[in-house]
Amino acid sequence: MLGIVTIIRPLRRVASLLTTPLEPEDFLGLINPLASSRQLRGVVTKVVPETADSTTIHFRPGKGWNAHLAGQWARIGVEIDGVRQWRSYSLSAPAGHDPAITVTAIGFVSTALVRNTRVGDVLFLDVPQGDFVLPRHPRPLLMLTAGSGLTPVMSMVRTLVPRRPDADVVLIHSARTRSEALFHDELLELADQFPGLQVKHWYTREEHGRRLDLTDLTDLEALCPDWRTRAAYACGPADFLDAATDLWDREVDAASPLTIERFAPVLLPGTGGEGGTITFEKSDKQVDAAGDVPLLDAGEECGVVMPSGCRMGICRSCLIPLVAGQVRDLRTGELHGQDGELIQTCINAAAGPVHLDI
């Protein structure tokens, strides 16, 4: 073994001299796109349309990927017009399988992924994260989802129900129409196959003609009479989650908790201040932004290539040094203004003139 190492090291030094300024790994990446030691990557293996505007993208990750837990999310990077854009997506594949993301065509990056992704494309990856995961010990579960909020819960259902004969899961999913309901047919097939899963769809523009009302007990009592005794998970739009949180705070004790997964930060009402002119120093661009517009959105709106990840104040991928001025945290209303301070642009807005080092 020592002899092999002795041979390989000089060969590697020679290869580096021949390929400078690139490394040998850069050329290996042309043959195997997953071989890069600099950036975790995944190659797309399957693209499955779910609805007219939603697609599931399966990919095989390279070395360095940590197997995901059901319900977790990961930052995904994609090259668009020569610029690498990062967004965070819930993983919809069951734990123990190669990962997949289910994306709805809302926003610039998500729309590009849905419309343009093909088998063989390379995605840039970060490792799975998040605490929205199944409980450690078996217990009856209630899953409340709306729209694309079903995505992380689908990973949970696919993981738990086929593997546990004692599973007891009630899934209540709200969608505008049947044709827009993610995983509709698969969920009904799973419910037919496994008695431990009950699936109840709520259509706001068809059968029911209104939103699922979580401001009182009527709808929930009818759909799941024993909801108070179940460990509950909820994921969906902000108003849906706010109503669920208020209901659990009023009606349920700590023995049956509600676990929330949000796709957007919780903003403090009225935190938007006066706004101001934002100057992006290195990009030589300026934009006037209202006091409730995140710096990240303002920069992207005027064409600045802004680093980003979760877009809700968790991953800290959007940090940019503050050159001058003050910003307001939209979650707390707190002002920040020390020169050189690293600012999370996804959850801070201008509070007067602001200069950023980007």
Handedness of CA 221, 225, 231, 232 (dihedral sign): negative
Question: pLDDT at position 307, please?
Answer: 87
**Each residue's pLDDT tens digit, 118-164:** 999 999 999 999 999 999 888 999 999 999 999 999 999 999 999 99
Using pLDDT thresholds of 50, 70 and 90, give the confidence band for residue 17: low
Where is pLDDT greater, at 194 or 339? 194
Q: Evaluate whether 56 touches 50 at the Cβ level (below 8 Å).
A: yes
Query: Around 47, how many Cα atoms within 13 Å sit in the side-chain half-sphere?
Result: 15
Question: pLDDT at position 24, please?
Answer: 52
**Each residue's pLDDT tens digit, 196-240:** 999 999 999 998 999 999 999 999 999 999 999 999 999 999 999
CATH superfamily for 19-125 is Translation factors (2.40.30.10)
Question: pLDDT at position 121, please?
Answer: 96
Mean pLDDT of the chain: 89
Q: What is the residue extent of each domain of the chain? A: 19-125, 141-261, 273-356
The CATH class for the domain spanning 273-356 reads alpha beta
In residues, how long is the chain? 358
State the SS3 of 115-164: HHCCCCCEEEECCCECCCCCCCCCCCEEEEEEHHHHHHHHHHHHHHCCCC
**Each residue's pLDDT tens digit, 37-56:** 578 999 999 999 999 999 99
Judged by DSSP in three states, 278 sits in: strand
Q: Evaluate whether 71 touches 130 at the Cβ level (below 8 Å).
A: yes
Q: Domain 141-261 belongs to what topology?
A: Rossmann fold (3.40.50)
